Amino acid sequence: MIVCLNDIETDMNQDPTIVQWVLTAFNLTFGSFLLLSGRISDIYHPKPIFILGFFIVGIFGIGAGFVHNIIGLIIIRAIQGIGASMTIPSAISMLTSAYTDPESRGIALTFFASAGTLGLCLGFVIGGVIVQFASWRWVFWGIACVAVPISLASIWLIPVPSLRMNSKGKKMDYPGVFSLTASIILLIFAFSQAPTVGWGTARVLAPLIVALLVLCIFFFWQTRLSDQSALIPSKMWFIPNFLILILVSFSNQIYFIGPVVLYSNYYPIHYGWSPLTIGLHFLPTGIVSGIICIIFPRQILRLPPKTVLVAGQAMAGLFGILYAFAYTRERYWSFTFPAMILATAGSSVTYLVSNVGVITSVPVDKVGVGSAVFNAAQQVGSAVNVAIVTTILVETTKQNPQTDQEAYHGVSSAIWWIVAIGCAEAVASAIFFKPRKNSLEGDGSGAEEKEKLSEEAQSGGTAGTV
């Protein structure tokens, strides 16, 4: 969607700060409603949640392609974000229910995680091709052409009998849902506005302070509820490696999104590149991600996860240094190209191991919420890091540069933040991640709960998810 913004701005004759809300609106609702969708998937049946989510994304994509008003487009994107938030936790709940063997479940979750990484990388390239040869409207119509058929086919293709849900004693924590959703919306809003209006303005500080206060109230409220009623049970944070993996997810997307944000602005201005040309120059990220996520996921997840996490984040950070010196188009092949390959490889393996690690560490009947926490952390982390990267870019870009290095100074300065994040996350994983044999085996967390569910099933009680 990033490659569409310039065309939307021109077509609708709008200010760039307004057009940016086409992205921000989606991120706001997507990140905010993940936990609600995850909890609903855990309490009720995930199949209708999944189907409805895809249908919302597709059907509103059709409408987005016909809109000629920027406000209408922003509203549609917000609704699409809600629909997208319904698909991920419900899909993971169905996968963990359908695959009972730990190894087969781990492989299924691996391919699911791989699709997310691959889609993130290839989306930029495909979007550039569509914008170049058609128009930005076909990006939305293309999404509809995929999402609507998938939602309709899922009615018949997803098996209902194999998805056994255990909703006995579970309740919806409405105060928790409201407070957490509101705090995430305010957090993403505040950080999204910071580079444009300034970090010290009331438009940023007011929602940020309110968000942090509401977040504190939410966590206090969770301690007052039972595990069956809480949106995020307090003991979930004490599951081995859960917290460090959530922290990893908070920053992992910036290794790819950071360069995309920086170069999608730099290349058109200084090199005169079209969206297609920019997309083709980012193609190595999609190829590398595809190779890792489709061909080698089983091998990667059989390695010690601590080693993979530390090495992956170190690669994403240290090899990102090459971006900082790619200040001419001639340096694309000697600096940018290897940085894309090596940093993408590091971030891809990190994403695979952290995503599967979170899902296999939580009890089976909390998988929807666990995956939602992981993805919500990604969205908030992406908003925070993009805001920081963009602020550094704006503050350090030289006016009237005389050389290529001076013109590139803002980009290179922002890259050093990404490098620092990668190195810091690698050190944190080395210190706090508790070793496991491989990523396909859980920590044993939630074992008592799983055993209890099994006993209930054997005694004729309500069958649990196994």
Query: What CATH number did the domain enclosing 72 receive?
Result: 1.20.1250.20
Q: pTM, whole model, 2 decimals?
A: 0.79
Q: Work out the average pLDDT over 452-461.
A: 41
**Residue 286: inside a domain, yes or no?**
yes
Ramachandran region of residue 451, left (φ > 0), alpha (ψ -120 to 50) or beta? Answer: alpha
Residue 452 has pLDDT above 50, yes or no: no
**Residue 409: inside a domain, yes or no?**
yes
**Residue 462: inside a domain, yes or no?**
no
Q: Residue 437 CB: number of other CB atoms within 10 A? A: 10
Determine the structural domain holding residue 122 and report its residue range.
Answer: 2-159+170-441
**Residue 452: inside a domain, yes or no?**
no
The gap from C-alpha 268 to its chain's centroid, in whole angstroms, comes to: 26
Tokens of 29: 């609702």
**Residue 85: inside a domain, yes or no?**
yes
CB contact at 8 A, 80 and 62 = no
Q: Work out the average pLDDT over 79-94.
A: 88
Q: Work out the average pLDDT over 364-391.
A: 82
Position 465 scores a pLDDT of: 31
CB contact at 8 A, 125 and 286 = yes
**Residue 311: inside a domain, yes or no?**
yes
pLDDT in tens, 103-140: 677 677 777 766 776 776 677 778 878 888 888 899 89
* Number of domains composing the chain: 1
More confident residue, 288 or 322: 322
Residue 259 has pLDDT above 80, yes or no: yes
pLDDT in tens, 161-199: 545 455 555 677 788 888 888 888 888 888 888 887 888
Position 445 scores a pLDDT of: 45
Q: Work out the average pLDDT over 204-208.
A: 91
List the one residue out of 297, 249, 3, 7 whose CA is nearest residue 122: 3
**Residue 164: inside a domain, yes or no?**
no
Local confidence band at 333 (pLDDT 50, 70, 90 cut-offs) = very high
**Residue 130: inside a domain, yes or no?**
yes
Residue with the two structure tokens 């929807």: 368
- Rounded to whole angstroms, the Cα distance separating 39 from 181 reads 12
- Rounded to whole angstroms, the Cα distance separating 58 from 109 reads 24
**Alpha-carbon radius of gyration of the chain:** 22
